[in-house]
Amino acid sequence: MMDALVYWVGTTEEEIHFLDAIVSAYDGLASVRREFRLRDGEAQYKVYVSPGMEDEFLELMGRLRSAARIGSLAREDADDVATTARE
């Protein structure tokens, strides 16, 4: 069984509650955490994406960028190197 993928979403403390509510509406898609890190002056919140749901998660984040303050979106790889995508 595959482990969940870890993504870091750059956003604000207020906005993470909105993102959590939206993501929670998609059963089994992902789990938003309040755990965060600071990278380049930006707060990034941890999201566990369910195995096999990465494409759906990325599509949702792309759509949410028009309604929410989402900065960076970084996937944490197995060797703890994050790859960052901005649109």
Q: How many domains does the chain have?
A: 1
Instruction: Return the DSSP state at 4.
Output: P
Residue of 51, 50, 40, 47 whose CA lies nearest to 73: 47
- Beta-strand runs (E) in the chain: 5-10, 30-39, 42-49, 73-76, 82-85
Query: Which of 4-8, 16-20, 58-62, 80-84 comes out lowest in average pLDDT?
Result: 80-84
What does the pLDDT read at residue 80?
47
Rounded Cα gap, residues 52 and 14, in angstroms: 29
What does the pLDDT read at residue 51?
95
Containing structural domain, residue 12: 5-85
Tokens of 79: 């060797």
Helix 13-24, helix 54-64: angle, nearest 10: 130
What does the pLDDT read at residue 83?
47
Output the domain CATH number for residue 13: 3.30.70
Asked if residue 22 has pLDDT above 80, the reply is yes
- Give residue-wise pLDDT tens across range 29-84: 999 999 999 999 999 999 999 999 999 999 999 999 999 999 999 999 844 444 44
